[in-house]
A = this chain, B = another copy of it.
Amino acid sequence: MSVVISAFDEAASREAKERRAEDVELEVLVREIIGRVADKWTMLTLEALEEHGRMRFTRLGEIIGDISQKMLTKTLRQMEADGLVSRTVFPVVPPRVEYELTPLGRSLGAAFCGVWIWAEQHRETIRQARADFSARAD
């Protein structure tokens, strides 16, 4: 019996892997992108740069709010690596570094509009669903 089950499990798992094998790469990419924008700081950084345009490191931190230096640096590096943000270093003392959304970064913001609209439209439905769920839990 356990042999049968494990053979079944294995087949199902293999099937799952093969089904996804074709577009695994895209799926990984989409998950990464979504995961990145889902990240609190990335989202706030994207927003700040969308609204205020090109900005210095410290100013960006101020606008975002209570982000730590570590996370601001990490977030910006990540976004830069993905081509969402450009980083310009001015060879002056004290250093001046400016960040700006790339066209790619701006287009990502636009692509997420659909999700924003969805959330806005279904806001009340979700609130209700959560209330119902909590009520049922009692």
> Quick one: closest B residue to A10, CB to CB?
B62
- Looking at chain A's contact residues, the main secondary structure is helix
Looking at the assembled complex, report how far the CB atom of A84 sits from the nearest CB atom of chain B, in whole angstroms: 8
Of listed A25, A66, A125, residue having the most chain B CB within 10 A: A125
Q: Tell me which residues across on chain B come within 8 A of A112, comparing CB atoms.
A: 34, 114-115
Chain A residues in the interface with B (C-beta under 8 A): 8-9, 12-13, 15-17, 25-26, 29-31, 33-40, 43, 59, 62-66, 80-83, 104, 107-108, 111-120, 122-123, 125-126, 128-130, 132-134
CB-CB nearest 5 A-B residue pairs: A83-B129, A38-B38, A111-B118, A12-B62, A114-B114
